[in-house]
Structure 1
Amino acid sequence: MAPLSLSGASKKFINDVSDCVTEMIDGMVETFQGLQRLDGFPEVKVVLRTDVSRGTYNRVAVISGGGSGHEPAHAGYVGQGMLTAAVCGDIFASPTVAAVLAAIRAVTGAPGCLLIVKNYTGDRLNFGLAAEQAKAEGYKVEMVIVGDDCALPPPRGLAGRRGLAGTLFVHKVAGAAAAEGKSLGDVLAEAQSVAGAVGTMGVALMVCTLPGATPSDRLGAGKMELGLGIHGEPGAAVADVQPVDAIVSHVLQKILDPETQYLKIDRGERVVLMVNGLGATPQMELLIAAGKAVATLQVEYGLAVERVYTGSFMTSLDMAGMSLSVLRVTDRILQRLDAPTRAPAWPSCAGGPRPMISVPVPMPSNPTNETAPSRPAELSESGRLLEAAIRAGAEALVDMEQQLNEWDARTGDGDCGTSMRKGAAAVLDDIWHRYPLNDAAETVKEVGASVRHAMGGTIGVLYDVFCRAAYASLRGTSSPSPLDWAAAFEAAVSSVSKYGGAAAGYRTMLDALLPASKTLTKRLQSRESPGDAFVAAAHAAAAGAEETLKMVALAGRSSYVPPEVLSQVPDPGAKAAAAWLNAAAAAVALYTPQ
């Protein structure tokens, strides 16, 4: 056996890091009877029920999903009486719009479908955009967003409360209602009712490690993090490790705090409890916590604990930690929770082998009969300049992968550089044969398509929005002038702000893009040479990215990270934007037509 080259990386039972999710799904569908994968183009990673045929399902389809690394969530909850399909993104990254849309097309019949989405920006954007496209195709689609995190006091600003393990109660109730034959409106109403009646908080003793990454030393010996999410981001606070009784009491106090009003509940009411392991917590420790939690809820809060679910239901890779979820229940909710299901990960559900079954992805029609774009046989001078700028920007992002990941590991899930490198690599590959470089507008649109197919999570959608807005501004302009490019840049940045919800000072990539756009327009209007104007804009972007060191995050996962952590590193998204702008501007300034 040849030795593996894993120096410095975590020890994992994996092959290629980039194939982890696909190989995990392969193993899952071989293990559990009743599950199958949706075959198709590489970005589609969907698990669905074997007994649901496309277009003929006579019940409301219930679809959920998100980044992988939370197993058994979400694919483990696919089965009769629970989810109809689960859409799997890359590790800790939202699934693509195309993957969500493929799932909707594969399982949705006349009654329609309900999307259950955890409250993260990338999930909201990707599932939301897929829902709108599906509606345009004639499907009946509704969406419920779950934000059950109780770690931080309100208000939570733009980002809102994170979706945590309480989401599983929404899966179960909605799935049971759909299995009973309820209408889409009724299933949505029951899901919303549960989403508004559940609260969750997590605590960790050790940080999780992404496959192929170096183990983090963020959490020192004898320390624990309180109020963390499920993506490896820092918690709301760091404290000395305490006995489990004290930890459970603190967590329940935060969930049931009458001042926050996150979970409005009175003495004498009924609840169910979920004690959820985050990946590396032994069952012994979870059961100890469960015993303390039940006693605390009954004695200190006067609540009747009707059901207890203890196990690892929504994990964070190999994190040593747990979360507690409390759900206020009624007779109807208890009936839904107790309803039979064949989902393999729900407690008391048995599994088994399954036959090899695959379902092809239905490809969308091309109503405009457009021909596929291609590289011109001969480039014009403007085409060569555009190619040089695109290539330079993409190569800069490839070179920055490690640095971006290091910054992102301090404030997020550590994959910003990897995501940017994937998008840049796709651009560098497609520029050889797909980009109609003599047509600036169409080229910008194709850059967006390359990024969309290669990059998951929020950043991929935002850059696709960026390119689409720029395309709309440039469309119909045969030979864009520098001011045309400035206008397109401004439109692109405005669209990112509009749909992403962030603005200047939120500690996002907009803190690099906004000053660059303003500088470019101002310099060009003062009749400065295009090369000098673009370079000045790039310098403004770099300065804006550095300013993020002084900012408090108001959007994205960084909004949950303590300010003292944020002050140590710049925002990686802003630094990435500044890097490709700088490289592209340098290419514009130095380019001399042959």
Structure 2
Amino acid sequence: MSLHAKKLINDPNAVVTEFIEGLVETYPGLQYLDGFPQIKVVLRADISPETYRKVAVISGGGSGHEPAHAGYVGEGMLTAAICGDVFTSPPVDSILAGIRAVTGPKGCLLIVKNYTGDRLNFGLAAEQAKSEGYEVEMVIVGDDCALPPPRGIAGRRGLAGTILVHKIAGAAADAGLSLSEVAAEAKHASEMVGTMGVALSVCTLPGEVTSDRLGPGLMELGLGIHGEPGAAIADLQPVDIVVSHVLKQILSSETQYVPIKRGSRVVLMINGLGATPLMELMIASGKAVPQLQLEHGLAVDRVYTGCFMTALDMAGFSITLMKADPAILLRLDAPTKAPSWPVGAEGHRPPAKIPVPVPPSRSKTNREVLNHPQELNEQGRILEFAVDVAAKAIICIRDQLNDWDSKVGDGDCGSTMYRGAVAILEDMKKCYPFNDPAETVNEIGASIGRSMGGTSGILYVIFCKAAYASLNGNPVIAAEQWANALEAGIAAVSKYGGASAGYRTMLDALIPASSVLKEARQTLNAGDDPLTAFLLSSEAAEKGAESTQHMPAQAGRSTYVSTEMLASVPDPGAMAACHWYKAAAVAIAGKRPEKS
């Protein structure tokens, strides 16, 4: 019989809020933003973006991994941590608030664990921050060594090795390095580290029923940090045998997860997953060090044992190995006041909260549209018409998209795109400044962001933000600038979503369209009628979308679908993209003014 786990909590929905309240009371060097509890950001109490002259280092993710990530906020480590709900990526608004609260003229580095939600939400926040004038770089950590290289773009999960990357990046930033130099050190560290976990029990979310997936006498190998199943279930073994298996997996010459070879120097981290006594963790450390030295021929330079990145109340541990060099050791040994590295709490107690920073003042254009509707110029009328027909094209194919998606996904592609299209049609009547193309694209992204949801929603918002940044500052947009904006949007979606041409996604429609526009740039520059190029690019988008029917899936839920089923329909996302793009291109051609 399944039972609810015993927890010392109040409201299961308030555990993250109450955790942060206790954290800042315990450590006076930490505080949170006044938008709390909707915006859950823990930051250093001793800095402000107006006076801070070093690179800000920001990380975060779902809660339930304490002391990660908020416990590593402090001088010499993280500048701020963004806390999502339990095992849930933090929302974009919280990430943006954190960036604005601590980022000064030297910019900020985002350190993100390799999970799709974290990548996309931090990616969108990065693009928004860049459009507001901030310097932002992002390093993704994927240190999981449990599974063979996966099919598609999901990649290795981010695990406890991320904490070592936090320390190295934070020390580099504290030393006064530039943003590019801090990012380079963090990226190098992420490529030197590997982790694998072992569990004796499954974690229980607050207010949920305890899982009985692992029975008596069993252990799980290669699990993640969210309670997801591991690579294998085996009979419980003595700890020295378990440690031996994990070390061999991390150091496997076949998979080459980490560039560690006999004779290398390494850093070892034994990390408790939440319910493992320190005694057992120390036993694991005591077995791991001699095995690394005698069996693998490695020199162990540093050993860290304790709870660094947990999974609520999971019993078990993970082992992390990082290839060491003098530069990495220098950063790991650098002083820090982050409370969970660990260090003692000291200093005076500042206010526990500060106001949420507001974004820079937006263009007056949008307010003017609301208060004093503009008479549209010729460019504005054409743009209004194109947006209108593109949204209506999506509405018309909702059922077809859902039908395709029911065969290769979760069946809601059409409904998701429909919500975005309806929101665009509603919002364009009252707040789209069509005489300013860049701001119009920005507002389309805002409409999509509040209405669509899901992976496709955030990808389209990223697309719009990148296109907006490309167009911004140009009141009159020529055809070539639209082509550049399309290219910028595609690049951003590929960067944060991980897909590219041939992955069976919406990019398989948009990339061919962009390629045709690139080839036509000489024509565009020569002042000839650019509309022919747009019509040709829409035909390329259509051909690209239809070609997805013959592609293996390398992204999204379609990666779990059989090849035979994939061959029966095209990719719904690609078909949606080609429909709105083609509708807009045809509309522009029909709306164009007569030549004098």
2:294 is the alignment partner of 1:303: no
Is 1:309–1:347's contact at 8 Å kept on the other side of the alignment? no
Give the one of 79, 86, 92 matched to 2:74.
Answer: 79
Q: Distance in 2 between matches of 1:276 and 1:558?
A: 35
**In percent, how many aligned pairs have the same letter?**
66
Structure 1 residues 321 and 136, CA gap change in structure 2 (3 angstroms)? same
Query: What is the CA–CA distance in structure 2 between the aligned matches of 1:454 and 1:8, rounded to whole Å?
Result: 37
Secondary structure of 2:355's match?
strand
Q: 2:356 — aligned with what?
A: 360
Q: Can you list the C-alpha shifts for 1:414-466, whole angstroms capped at 9, x where unaligned?
A: xxx9xxxxx9xx99xx99x9997999x99x99998588469998576358679
Distance 1:499 1:354, change over 3 A: closer
Question: Which of 198, 204, 222 is 1:203 aligned to?
Answer: 198
Q: In structure 2, which of residues 111, 125, 128 is the aligned counterpart of residue 130 of structure 1?
A: 125
Between the aligned partners of 2:169 and 2:431, the Cα distance in structure 1 is 51
TM-score (normalised: structure 1): 0.67
1:461 to 443, 458, 462: 458
Question: What is the identity, as a one-letter code, of the residue corresponding to 1:57?
Answer: Y
Instruction: Show the 5 A alignment for 1:10-89.
Output: 10-40=5-35, 43-89=38-84
The Cα of 1:220 is off from its aligned counterpart by: 2.3
Letter in 1 for 2:233: V
Mapped partners of 1:8, 1:437: distance in 2: 52
Name the aligned partner's letter for residue 30 of structure 1. E
Could you tell me which runs of 5 or more consecutive residues in structure 2 were left unpaired when the two chains were aligned. 371-390, 399-409, 467-488, 508-551, 563-571, 573-596
1:243 has 2:264 as partner: no
Instruction: Name the CA distance, whole Å, in 2 between partners of 1:23 and 1:505.
Output: 46
**What is the CA–CA distance in structure 2 between the aligned matches of 1:211 and 1:460, rounded to whole Å?**
29
Cα RMSD (Å):
5.4
Following the alignment from structure 2 to structure 1, what is the Cα–Cα distance between the partners of residues 350 and 558? 41
Q: Residue deviations 1:322-351, cap 9 Å, x none?
A: 110001111221111111100001034446
- 2:124, 2:461 within 8 Å by CA — same for their partners in 1? no
Q: Establish whether residue 280 from structure 1 lines up as the match of residue 268 from structure 2.
A: no
Alpha-carbon deviation of 1:364?
3.7
* Residues 190-589 of structure 1: pairs in structure 2 closer than 5 A: 190-350=185-345, 355-371=351-367, 452=449, 458=455, 461-462=458-459, 500=497, 555=555
The offset of 1:19, in angstroms, is 2.4
Question: Does the Cα contact within 8 Å between 2:369 and 2:431 map onto a contact in 1?
Answer: no
* Matching residue of 2:105: 110
Evaluate the alpha carbon distance shift between residue 504 and residue 182 of structure 1 in structure 2; reply closer, same or farther with a 3 A threshold: closer
Partner Cα distance (1:270, 1:445) in 2: 50
Question: Taking structure 1 as reference, are residues 192 and 26 closer, same or farther at Cα in structure 2, changes over 3 Å only?
Answer: same
**8 Å Cα contact 1:75-1:88 kept in structure 2:** yes
Query: Aligned equivalents of 2:258 and 2:265: distance in 1?
Result: 13
Q: Tell me the distance in 2 between the aligned counterparts of 1:269 and 1:141.
A: 34
2-side partners of 1:338 and 1:190: how far apart?
15
Once the 2 structures are TM-superposed, how far is the Cα of residue 268 of structure 1 from its aligned partner?
2.4
State the Cα deviation string for residues 168-197 of structure 1 (Å, max 9, x = none).
Answer: 111101111111111212211211121111
Write the letter of the residue equivalent to 1:259.
Answer: E
Counterpart CA distance in 1 for 2:16 and 2:152 is 32
Distance 1:205 1:556, change over 3 A: farther
CA apart distance, 1:305: 0.9
Alpha-carbon spacing, 1:49–1:369, altered in 2? closer, same or farther (3 Å): same
Matched pairs, number: 499
Q: In structure 2, the residue corresponding to 1:370 is in which secondary structure?
A: helix
Q: Residue 366 of structure 2 aligns to a residue in which SS?
A: coil
Residues 42 and 11 (structure 1 numbering): CA distance in 2 closer, same or farther, change over 3 Å? same
Q: 1:291 to 1:503 in 2, by over 3 A?
A: same
Q: Secondary structure at the match of 2:180?
A: helix
Structure 1 residues 506 and 203: CA distance shift in structure 2, 3 A: farther
Equivalent residue, structure 1, for 2:381: none
Aligned residue type for 1:336:
R
Residue 166 of structure 1 deviates from its aligned partner by 0.5
Q: CA deviation at 1:315?
A: 0.8
- Which residue identity does 2:458 align to in structure 1? V
Partner of 1:475: none
In structure 2, the CA distance between the partners of 1:47 and 1:452, relative to structure 1 (3 Å rule), is farther
- Cα 1:89–1:80 change in 2 (3 A) is same
* Mapped partners of 1:140, 1:468: distance in 2: 15
Match of 1:381 in 2: none
On the 8 A contact 1:39/1:361 being kept in 2, the answer is no
Offset of residue 136 of structure 1 = 2.2
| CA distance in 2 between partners of 1:168 and 1:244 (Å) | 24
Report the secondary structure of 1:228's partner residue: coil
Query: 1:581 — aligned with what?
Result: none
Structure 1 or 2, whichever has the larger Rg, is 2
Is the contact made by 1:344 and 1:351 (CA closer than 8 Å) also made in structure 2?
no
Q: Normalised by the size of structure 2, how large is the TM-score?
A: 0.67
Aligned counterparts of 1:553 and 1:320: Cα–Cα separation in 2: 36
8 Å contact from structure 2 (residues 54, 173) kept in 1: yes
Deviation at 1:229, TM superposition (A): 1.2
Structure 1 residue runs of 5 or longer lacking an equivalent are: 1-6, 375-385, 394-407, 409-416, 418-422, 470-491, 511-551, 568-576, 578-594
Equivalent position of 1:487 in the other structure: none
**Aligned 8 A contact 1:55 1:106 in 2:** no
Letter in 2 for 1:59: K
Aligned pair partner of 1:94 in 65, 89, 92? 89
CA distance in 2: counterparts of 1:250 and 1:507, whole angstroms:
37
Once the two structures are overlaid, the 10-residue window that deviates more, 75-84 or 30-39, is: 30-39
CA contact (8 A) 1:271 1:304 kept: yes
1:183-194 matched pairs, under 5 angstroms: 183-194=178-189
CA-CA distance at 1:274 after TM superposition: 0.4
Aligned equivalents of 2:214, 2:199: Cα separation in 1:
9
Q: Is the 8 A contact 1:67 1:91 kept in 2?
A: yes
- Cα distance, 1:434–1:335 mapped onto 2, change above 3 Å: same
Partners of 2:142 and 2:211 in 1: CA distance: 27
- 1:55 touches 1:105 (CA, 8 Å); kept in 2? no
Check whether the contact 1:67–1:88 (CA below 8 A) recurs between aligned residues: yes
State the alpha-carbon separation in 2 of the partners of residues 289 and 372 from structure 1. 65
| 1:267–1:220 distance in 2 versus 1, CA, 3 Å | same
